[in-house]
Amino acid sequence: QVQLVESGGGLVQSGGSLRLSCAASGSIFSISAMGWFRHAPGKQRELVAVITSGGSTDYVDSVKGRFTISRDNAKNTVYLQMNSLKPEDTAVYYCNADLFPYGSSWNDYWGQGTQVTVSS
């Protein structure tokens, strides 16, 4: 059974930094794109950052220059380094992976979510 387990959320002051991690575990044949979404109260869920298996990245405009997504393919892990955090970054952050388990097919998998709160 495949799982995505996130860690690294918490409470930080405006201007501070946090690093989120998301490890995929289970019987995994291959992972394609991995990414981070966030969902703030009263807002739609949005894609924050995505990274392909080859390392190409893309970001939502509001985090460009502040957030960096990376991955360790040997560990099936994706990271999100968040610097210069702002109160508007407050949300539940979800890890997402396009993943192919052994004996199955490509499918979308989600982590349980981790709360990031930025105080002003």
What is the model's pLDDT at position 92? 98
Is 86 buried (19+), middle (13-18) or exposed (0-12) by CB count in 10 A?
Answer: middle
Q: Is the dihedral of CA 13, 60, 37, 5 positive or negative?
A: negative
Measured between alpha carbons, how far is 16 from 2 in angstroms, rounded to an integer?
Answer: 33
Q: What is the DSSP string of 9-37?
A: -EEEETT--EEEEEEEESSEEEEEEEEEE
pLDDT in tens, 5-50: 999 999 999 999 999 999 999 999 999 999 999 999 999 999 999 9
Residue type at 85 in one-letter notation: L
* Cβ 93 vs Cβ 80: under 8 Å: yes
| Pair 59, 49: CB distance under 8 Å | yes
Per-residue pLDDT tens over the stretch 55-67 = 999 999 999 999 9
What 3-state class would DSSP assign to 8? coil
Residue 49, classified by CB atoms within 10 Å of its CB into exposed (0-12), middle (13-18) or buried (19+), is: buried
